[in-house]
Amino acid sequence: MHGLDFDVAHLLAGGLVLVSFMLLYQDRLYAMLNVYALHAVVLSLSVGWQAYIQDAPHLYITALIALVFKAIIIPVALHRMIVQLGIHREIEPVAGIGPTMLAGVGLVGLSLAVMLHITASADLLAREDLAFALSVLLLGLLIMVTRRNAVGQVVGFMSLENGLVLAATGAKGMPLVVEISVAFSVLIAFIVIGIFLFRIRERFDTVDIRALDRFQGDRR
């Protein structure tokens, strides 16, 4: 592998981690959805580059799926859902932005330390891509945990799945049928989550998760 191939692969994988931090920083829904679209674009570029350096044509289809579904269809659908539901556009995190970002930095450091240690005998590119992928996955999980708004949690779930795709492609790819299955599973999950959001909005007149907690407390 040429040095340029290696450098570009790392630049794109590291860029995905950086955009995950941008997602973690957002406190407005529209901005969060726009950053998620950028997250999906960077993922598609990373997967496309992996297809080139691995000489794996099926990964080009994976990159196209990421671009069409995750960078276009899902953000547009969520934008429309926000408008239709009249959802409050600001996202209130469980903790402040500062502590949340510090937690994210800690998770990235943990990911690098753990993955580089347990994959010491693996290919260098695969090792570091897996470390970046675990970072993206954990940052997506952190977004889900620190957002009270259900839409923000959906975006965290989607970014988490992007980390799984990055891990699979960095570890010398996955069969196309598996990637198509994952894409459809995510699409089905998105539809189910959309229905769930409509039901929450209809019942509680908000998608703030605290409304569910208060309702559960009132029933006890």
Distant-in-sequence contacts of 109-118, Cβ < 8 A, 24+ apart: 110/138, 111/135, 111/138
- How far is Cα 35 from Cα 79, in angstroms, rounded to an integer? 13
Residue 64 neighbours by CB distance under 10 Å: 13
Is residue 62 within 8 Å of 185, Cβ to Cβ?
A: no
* Residue 7 DSSP SS3: helix
Q: What is the domain extent for residue 203? A: 3-219
Is this structure's pTM higher than 0.85?
no
- Report pLDDT digits (tens) over 118-170: 877 767 677 888 889 899 999 999 998 888 777 788 888 888 888 888 888 87
* Residue 208 DSSP SS3: strand
- Report pLDDT digits (tens) over 60-117: 888 888 888 888 988 888 888 777 766 656 666 677 788 889 999 999 999 888 888 8
Contacts of 41 (CB under 8 A, 6+ apart): 67, 71
Number of domain units in the chain: 1
